[in-house]
């Protein structure tokens, strides 16, 4: 799990300092899909199995979604 977390963070960091800064078209949708298929799905599975970490993972997924929503709103206001 540590390798997954590190790799997801590394990918997110790289995308943030490259495509997000230039507001490349499609960047939001790619990162949204990555979040949905990674931390989002992991949160869903942890709710299904009744894990003790379900709310923590849900919080991370929620923060990911809020950050993307705010980035998208900022882009529409420009």
Domains of the chain: total: 1
Per residue in 8-34, pLDDT (tens digit) is 788 888 888 888 888 887 888 888 888
43, 57 in Cβ contact below 8 A? yes
Contacts of 63 (CB under 8 A, 6+ apart): none
Residues with Cβ within 8 Å of residue 61, at least 6 apart in sequence: 35, 39, 40, 42, 43
Note the pTM of the prediction, 2 decimals.
0.71
Instruction: Give per-residue pLDDT as tens, 30-61.
Output: 888 888 888 888 899 999 999 999 999 999 88
Question: Which domain does 15 fall in, by range?
Answer: 2-76
Q: Which of 23, 22, 35 is nearest to 67 (CA)?
A: 35
């Amino acid at each position: 799990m540590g390798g997954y977390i590190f790799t997801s963070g590394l990918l997110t960091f790289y995308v943030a300092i490259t495509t997000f800064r230039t507001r490349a078209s499609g960047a939001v949708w790619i990162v949204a899909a990555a979040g949905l298929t990674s931390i989002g799905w992991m949160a869903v599975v942890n709710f299904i199995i009744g894990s003790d970490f379900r709310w923590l993972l849900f919080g991370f997924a929620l923060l990911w979604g809020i950050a993307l929503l705010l980035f998208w709103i900022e882009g529409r206001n420009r």
